[in-house]
Amino acid sequence: MNRLDQLLSRLNTTLHITLGPAPAHARQNPAHSEENVHGQPDRRHAAGLMRVNHSGEVCAQALYSGQAFASRNPELQQKLAHAAEEELDHLAWCAERLQELGSQPSRLNVLWYGGSWLLGAVASLAGERWNLGFLEETERQVEAHLQGHLERLPEGDQRSREIVAQMKIDEAEHADMAREAGAASLPEPVRSMMSASAGVMKWLAYRL
């Protein structure tokens, strides 16, 4: 496909990810426990956390897409595509959990997607090692964020924990992949800016 075709295809995918129904997942949903979240405060809290995770996966799809679009390295593009496929499973699992909790994805997902796509493209244009460094740092921060959610989810919400635990494993593998491929270490101000931006997204997505 030429660049115009790629952009049109990406627009279609964007609309599906941000506004469409839950995507199909290749791997089985890891949530196997019985439902045990019944009180409304616990259900709202669990839904807020899983909505944040769902928005994070929307961002991941956009980041990988922007990085792959601007990259000129076919091998790196393939690695990014493989990671995006696993992240698509995460997106579907989170969407399914939100439905179980009687909630819905963030109303700001289109905004999250657009901003993340641009960040991914800029990171790729900065050069391959910086592109990989941005990917590794993103995944390390997401891994830490997911650990926090494992601790903050309502005590009886094993279904959400099972999903988040598998996501955490996958994110660590993606970070390791980027490091092994030659990721550069990002400067501390950049890492801090990424963390602060993610904090704003999480605060809004929990509520909206």
Per-residue pLDDT of 39-90, as tens digits, reads 999 999 999 999 999 999 999 888 988 888 888 888 888 888 888 888 889 9
Rounded-to-integer distance, Cα 63 and Cα 97, Å: 23
Q: Write down the pLDDT at residue 16.
A: 65
Q: Span 145-170, mean pLDDT?
A: 96
Per-chain mean pLDDT for the chain: 89
Rounded-to-integer distance, Cα 20 and Cα 2, Å: 26
Is the pLDDT assigned to residue 17 strictly greater than 80?
no
Q: Write down the pLDDT at residue 66.
A: 87
> What is the per-residue burial (b if ≥16 Cβ within 10 Å, else e) of 177-208?
bbbebebbebeeeebeebeeebeebbebbbee
Is the pLDDT assigned to residue 166 strictly greater than 60?
yes
Q: Write down the pLDDT at residue 135.
A: 92
Domain range list for the chain: 39-207
Q: Which of 99, 107, 85, 109 is nearest to 24 (CA)?
A: 85
Residue 13's identity, in one-letter code, is: T
Give the model confidence (pLDDT) of 24-38 as tens digits. 777 899 999 999 999
What distance, in Å, lies between the first and last C-alpha atoms of the chain?
36
Dihedral sign, Cα of residue 164, residue 136, residue 55, residue 201: positive
Is the pLDDT assigned to residue 9 strictly greater than 70?
no
Give the model confidence (pLDDT) of 174-185 as tens digits. 999 999 999 999
Give the model confidence (pLDDT) of 87-113 as tens digits. 889 999 999 999 999 999 999 998 999
pLDDT grade, residue 10 (50/70/90)? low
Residue 162's identity, in one-letter code, is: E
Q: How is domain 39-207 classified at the architecture level of CATH? A: Up-down Bundle (1.20)
Secondary structure of 72-134 in the HEC alphabet? CCHHHHHHHHHHHHHHHHHHHHHHHHHHHCCCCCCCCHHHHHHHHHHHHHHHHHCCHHHHHHH
Q: Write down the pLDDT at residue 24.
A: 72
pLDDT grade, residue 12 (50/70/90)? low
